[in-house]
Amino acid sequence: MATATKEAAVRGGAWLIEPTDPSTVMTPEKLTDEHKLIHQTATEFINGEVIPATGRLEQKDWALQRELIKKCGSLGLFGTNIPEEYGGVDLDKISTLIVSEVISGHASFATTFGAQANLTVLPIYMFGTEAQKQHYLPGLVSGELAGAYGLSESGSGSDALGAKTKAMKQPDGSYVLSGEKMWISNGGFADVFIIFAKVDGEHFSAFIVERKWPGVSSGKEEHKLGLHGSSTTPIILQDVRVPADALLGEVGKGHKIAFNVLNFGRFKLGAMCSGGTKINIREAAKYAASRKQFNTPIASFGAIKHKLGEMTARAYALDSMLYRTAGLIERRIAASPKQANDGTPTLQALEEFAVEASIAKVLGSETLDFAIDENLQIHGGNGFVHDYPPEGHYRDARVNRIFEGTNEINRLLIPGMLMKKAVKGELPLLAAAKALQDEIMSPSMGVPDDGDGVLAAEARAVAACKKVVLMVAGTAMQRYGQKLEQEQEVLSFLADILIDAYSADSAVLRAQDAAGRQLSNASLHEDAARVAVNEAAGRIELAARSALAAMADGDVLRTQLAALRRLLKVTPVNTVALRRRLADATVAKGGYVF
Ligand SMILES: Cc1cc2nc3c(=O)[nH]c(=O)nc-3n(C[C@H](O)[C@H](O)[C@H](O)COP(=O)(O)OP(=O)(O)OC[C@H]3O[C@@H](n4cnc5c(N)ncnc54)[C@H](O)[C@@H]3O)c2cc1C
């Protein structure tokens, strides 16, 4: 489908300093018939084929897992972003987001899926030679071959470039690989591995390695907290001779592959978590409607409505942020000159939106964990036992905060990558921070009151939140300069502010667009956006105060806190009433209302 219209390239992070017209934002309300069809195909596969196989998958029936991989491939789900000549179906990034959301209906299979589609197919498509693409992609996309991604080692997870696996170059140009990879998804049965190793013990590089090559073996299955239906093993490489043309990309450029693959992986993980969040809302709404205590359905108690309303508002903000970002990535790709067979535009677009991808990963995994926890709580004692779904969700979801870069690492990356863009002049953030500093000194400081249209107060609050980003980031850069990267707590506060600002902004734009298009449930959109902004503004104020207090004291701090108060003058809204409306709509529908 690859969109063809050329337009000015959109830039990652620009939302922070440039206004956005709500009608231009991609939202789930704008899905095409093609999007709906892929949603239906993926849903039928997960509900009809994968969920019924849960028992056998959890018994580690990898022959069945391979059958499911083949079925998934035959439906085109591994190849949504791959051109037809390599066996793909070449859809847009929104379709990929939809597939990721739906696949989350089975957390274990979603992990298997991610290892294949995101971590094996994509690196070969984006970095492989024509011969490598021709050789491996059709089999991987159709599911005839199963793939896995070997980056982590027992001594190097977050510090992935510290890998010890070696690839010793031989006189004939081939390499001999030795080392051990750890926690590899699909490790027990994959045929093809992307393996990261240091050429001659020094130059971090990637290779395509086949299981059938002598010296490749899997270690024992890990006994995990959750994801029991997904294979996780070490991969042992014992003097494996690999041909020269197994090198993926260039010697010493493995980090480019590892980091870019993670960019998209993080975005898709955010989408999977969004799908999981909606499942938890559905289960919680249904249980709350049917469970009676004191002769009353628990759904009618305010404390339960609070939970359902908050779960819905958070899911709405996440959803809005993901579709908006997918739309931006798509527009970026559409604006680049596309060459046949070339993954370059995709690669560049994913690099451009790396900050947003990390935001998706952190916000997605933490929203899902929040929703699961509340779903479990709504289930009471039943939530704690195996016969009801929240117990399994609880165990399965925990790893989302660990893999694809831990949430701590992603929190450091979010402001870090943004500041790099600022320093390189790719985004005029420094000028914006300087302008804000001047504004803070002026008596008329604040966010201009630009009318009373739909969600005008919330839009002003979001504009103020973005200024808080500039204020805290500007102060941090002035205070620490190059040494800012050592101030992890300040960076993490800044990440929290950015995550809340971007998701609240996305929620407001989507609700404004829903109102503009006079959707029948536009008022529910407004309710969700108002709760999201109100809560985000509160958290942002707290994070900003903590960050500023870590960087200054005395009169300087007092002046900054006064400026923060003037900037963030957000009048609280009645979130009790808003959450009740959202909860009632959720219970009436028996699930997520948007
Ligand atoms: C079920 C499962 C499936 C997986 N699948 C794969 C796979 O298919 N392929 C693959 O290559 N890997 C895979 N992994 C590995 C996963 O990516 C790593 O576990 C993850 O990157 C974290 O690395 P680590 O476990 O070594 O933790 P560590 O890096 O040791 O981190 C421990 C703690 O320290 C923190 N920390 C580390 N460094 C810093 C720092 N600089 N600053 C602040 N805090 C820091 C972390 O955030 C974390 O809280 C999988 C893991 C699991 C559990």
Tell me the two tokens of residue 542: 């707290």
CA 402 vs. chain centroid, Å, equals 13
Q: 425 and 400 in one domain? A: no
CA 434 vs. chain centroid, Å, equals 31
Task: Please identify, by atom number, the ligand 1 atom nearest to the C-alpha of residue 155.
Answer: 26
Q: What pLDDT does residue 1 have?
A: 42
Evaluate whether residue 442 is within a structural domain: yes
Evaluate whether residue 585 is within a structural domain: no
Evaluate whether residue 6 is within a structural domain: no
Residue 178 backbone phi and psi in degrees, to 5 = -145, 140
Q: What pLDDT does residue 52 have?
A: 97
Q: What pLDDT does residue 344 have?
A: 86
Report the number of distinct structural domains present in the chain.
4
Tell me the two tokens of residue 333: 């790709």
pTM for the structure as a whole: 0.96
Q: 289 and 268 in one domain? A: yes
Could you tell which of 402, 412, 413 is best to mutate to test the pocket of ligand 1, judged by most ligand atoms within 8 Å of the CB? 402
Average pLDDT, the chain: 95
193 lines ligand 1 (CB under 6 A): no
Q: 136 and 62 in one domain? A: yes
pLDDT tens digits along 502-555: 999 999 999 999 999 999 999 999 999 999 999 999 999 999 999 999 999 999
Q: Whose CA is nearest to atom 35 of ligand 1?
A: 408
Q: 52 and 188 in one domain? A: no
Contacts of 339 (CB under 8 A, 6+ apart): none
pLDDT tens digits along 275-328: 999 999 999 999 999 999 999 999 999 999 999 999 999 999 999 999 999 999
Q: Is 404 a catalytic residue?
A: yes
The C-alpha atoms of residue 37 and residue 102 are separated, in whole angstroms, by: 12
Question: Any idea what the CATH number is for the domain that residue 401 is in?
Answer: 1.20.140.10
Q: 196 and 96 in one domain? A: no
Which DSSP letter does residue 100 get?
H
Could you tell which of 112, 152, 484 is best to mutate to test the pocket of ligand 1, judged by most ligand atoms within 8 Å of the CB? 152
Q: 510 and 423 in one domain? A: yes
Q: What pLDDT does residue 345 have?
A: 87
Residue 239 backbone phi and psi in degrees, to 5 = 45, 55
Evaluate whether residue 115 is within a structural domain: yes
Tell me, in angstroms, the distance from the centre of ligand 1 to residue 407's CA: 10
Task: Please identify, by atom number, the ligand 1 atom nearest to the C-alpha of residue 408.
Answer: 47
**What percent of the chain lies above the pLDDT cut of 70?**
96
Evaluate whether residue 592 is within a structural domain: no
Q: 337 and 455 in one domain? A: no
Q: What pLDDT does residue 452 have?
A: 79
Q: 184 and 108 in one domain? A: no
Evaluate whether residue 543 is within a structural domain: yes
Task: Please identify, by atom number, the ligand 1 atom nearest to the C-alpha of residue 159.
Answer: 29
Q: 89 and 166 in one domain? A: no
115 lines ligand 1 (CB under 6 A): yes
185 lines ligand 1 (CB under 6 A): yes
403 lines ligand 1 (CB under 6 A): yes
Three-state DSSP at 11 gives coil
229 lines ligand 1 (CB under 6 A): no
Q: 157 and 105 in one domain? A: no
Q: Which of 408, 435, 466 is the last residue of a domain?
A: 408
Catalytic: which of 101, 404, 487, 526? Answer: 404
The C-alpha atoms of residue 121 and residue 72 are separated, in whole angstroms, by: 14
Q: 566 and 420 in one domain? A: yes
Q: 440 and 565 in one domain? A: yes
Tell me, in angstroms, the distance from the centre of ligand 1 to residue 182's CA: 10
Tell me, in angstroms, the distance from the centre of ligand 1 to residue 411's CA: 14
Question: Any idea what the CATH number is for the domain that residue 93 is in?
Answer: 1.10.540.10
Evaluate whether residue 92 is within a structural domain: yes
Q: Whose CA is nearest to atom 40 of ligand 1?
A: 409
Q: What pLDDT does residue 335 have?
A: 87
Decide if pLDDT at 342 tops 80: no
Evaluate whether residue 9 is within a structural domain: no
The C-alpha atoms of residue 352 and residue 355 are separated, in whole angstroms, by: 8
Q: Which of 82, 116, 146 is the last residue of a domain?
A: 146
**What percent of the chain lies above the pLDDT cut of 90?**
90
Tell me the two tokens of residue 589: 């529908």
Q: Whose CA is nearest to atom 17 of ligand 1?
A: 403
Task: Provide the domain limits for residue 332.
Answer: 254-408
pLDDT tens digits along 173-183: 999 999 999 99
Q: Which of 408, 426, 457 is the last residue of a domain?
A: 408
Q: What pLDDT does residue 3 have?
A: 41
Residue with the two structure tokens 């975005």: 267
Tell me, in angstroms, the distance from the centre of ligand 1 to residue 25's CA: 34
